[in-house]
Structure 1
Amino acid sequence: MNDFSTHIYNQIVEALPDLVDLQKKNTELLEFHIENEYKSTFGDLYIQTSDDDKIWIKSSFPFTTYEVDSVEELLYILEGLLFNQLFWVISYDDGDWDDTFLMLKDQEIKTEEGFTYKILSWNGKNDKVINA
Structure 2
Amino acid sequence: MKAAFPTNSENGLQSEVYNHFGSAAFFILVDTDTQTHEVLENKDKDHAHGQCQPLKALGDIKTDAIVVGGIGKGALNKLLAGGVKTYRAVEGTVQENLDLLNGGKLSEFLPGQTCKGHALGGGCAH
Same-fold call, TM cutoff 0.5: no
Higher relative contact order (CA 8 A, sep 6+): 2
Radius of gyration: which is bigger? Answer: 1
**TM-score, normalising length: structure 2:** 0.28
**TM-score, normalising length: structure 1:** 0.27
